[in-house]
Amino acid sequence: MNKTIAVVKGDGIGPEIVGEAIKVLEAIGKKYGHSFTFTDVLAGGCAIDQTGEPLPQESIDICLKSDSVLLGAVGGPKWDNLEGSRRPEKALLGLRSALGLFANIRPSKLFKSLEDACPLSRESVQNGLDLVIVRELIGGLYFGDRKTYLDENGVETAVDTLIYNEKEIERIARVAFDMARKRRKKVTSVDKANILDTSRLWRKVLHRVAEEYPDVEFNDMLVDNTAMQLVRNPGQFDVIVTENMFGDILSDEASMVTGSIGMIPSSSLGEGSRGLYEPIHGSAPDIAGQDKANPIATILSAAMMLRYSFDMEKEAADIENAVSKVLDMGYRTGDIMSEGMKQVSGSEMGRLVVENL
């Protein structure tokens, strides 16, 4: 098969980690007889530096013409003082919305060989930790109207709008239930229905959709309680489905409890097969350019791309197995290093994964 991939290397460690993922994709292509064509796309801080805007139209066009998009990370202190609409993060939101990527899939899983890195007590993880957060990605507070203004008394005031309609809620609900069917068949819907109207609508729609999936166990949970349950007993969750902002916050928490945020991939999907795949960690400007960054989350994101966008399950599993093998052999980048293990650079880690395919 021949597939075109738009590549957003982005800022900070983005170019290094994406470089390693591309090596892995090329190797897997060679092994299984696929060819991947990579086209670099400017987005984020580097795009601001070169063109004056975080997401040039040309970048959107290339992504729309590609079969899928692989992204490293965007942003950094250099651009922190820019006004909201000109910041590198705007590129991410722009890409998500231009490509119609309403479903953000963020798995959190305890890697067997990295169990010691988990910051939770043994008791808390006695039921394991293998969950997926399905986050609505192009609605809610992120995309509602916002403004900062002086009120009638001259007091500076700001407003952000949280808005959802039932169609937006229903389509993300279906993604969660379909995903649960391929896993342990349990969906937890997270909201703040004791306060928010959007959450009450969310709950109503989720219950409606749940009736169509009698084989999937279903419960509601308030977001504050969910934040607590994630550290108390994360093993109770299989698929968590929630709105944009709650999903942003809970997915950082869920990744950190695995102890290895540098290992966690994500995918953002829309109606078609095109998706955007990226590690969930950021651009880590403090270690950029030193070949220290862990490329595994990006490599695993590339594996997700093969699985979800290209229907290449065998190839995806092959990459995931190679990563596990390298970890089992005791190789670690600095972020997941522990006593008795062999520390390697980011590029060595990439090479080891390729070697073990």
Cα separation, 187 vs 183, whole angstroms: 10
| Catalytic residue status for 197 | no
Which DSSP letter does residue 238 get?
A: S
288 to 13, 16, 294, 302, 353: CA distances (angstroms)? 5, 8, 11, 21, 21
Cα separation, 133 vs 234, whole angstroms: 12
| Catalytic residue status for 311 | no
* Closer Cβ to ligand IPM, 89 or 348, answer by number: 89
* Closer Cβ to Mg ion, 277 or 310, answer by number: 277
Task: Quote the least distance from Cβ 247 to Mg ion, whole Å.
Answer: 8
191 binds, among Mg ion, ligand IPM, none (CB under 5 to 8 A by kind): none
Cα separation, 327 vs 132, whole angstroms: 22
* Closer Cβ to Mg ion, 218 or 246, answer by number: 246
* Closer Cβ to Mg ion, 59 or 104, answer by number: 104
| Catalytic residue status for 164 | no
Per CB under 5 A, which region of 14-22, 107-115, 155-163, 245-253 contacts Mg ion? 245-253
| Catalytic residue status for 67 | no
Comparing every residue's Cβ against ligand IPM, the nearest one is: 89
Of the candidates 185, 186, 192, 292, the residue annotated as catalytic is 192
Cα separation, 78 vs 262, whole angstroms: 23
* Closer Cβ to ligand IPM, 12 or 29, answer by number: 12
Of the candidates 224, 286, 311, 328, the residue annotated as catalytic is 224
Q: Say whether residue 243 binds Mg ion (CB under 5 A).
A: no
- Quickly tell me which residue has 């993880």 as its tokens: 125
Q: Say whether residue 248 binds ligand IPM (CB under 6 A).
A: yes
| Residue 181: CB atoms within 10 Å | 14
Q: Say whether residue 191 binds ligand IPM (CB under 6 A).
A: no
Q: Which of 168, 220, 248, 278 binds Mg ion (CB under 5 A)?
A: 248
Q: Is the dihedral of CA 89, 91, 92, 98 positive or negative?
A: positive
Q: Is the dihedral of CA 223, 226, 231, 234 positive or negative?
A: negative
* Closer Cβ to ligand IPM, 92 or 110, answer by number: 92
Helix axes 313-328, 14-32, angle to 10 degrees: 120
Q: Say whether residue 335 binds Mg ion (CB under 5 A).
A: no
Task: Quote the least distance from Cβ 204 to ligand IPM, whole Å.
Answer: 26
Of the candidates 191, 248, 318, 335, the residue annotated as catalytic is 248
Cα separation, 62 vs 304, whole angstroms: 21
Q: Say whether residue 92 binds ligand IPM (CB under 6 A).
A: yes
| Catalytic residue status for 192 | yes
Which token pair is 20? 């390693």
20 binds, among Mg ion, ligand IPM, none (CB under 5 to 8 A by kind): none
Dihedral Cα 345, 308, 71, 142, nearest 10 deg = -130
| Residue 211: CB atoms within 10 Å | 8
Per CB under 5 A, which region of 12-20, 178-186, 248-256, 296-304 contacts Mg ion? 248-256
Per CB under 5 A, which region of 149-157, 215-223, 226-234, 246-254 contacts Mg ion? 246-254
Cα separation, 184 vs 337, whole angstroms: 31
Q: Say whether residue 243 binds ligand IPM (CB under 6 A).
A: no
Task: Point out the residues that are catalytic.
Answer: 142, 192, 224, 248, 252
Point out which residues bind ligand IPM (CB under 6 A).
89, 92, 248
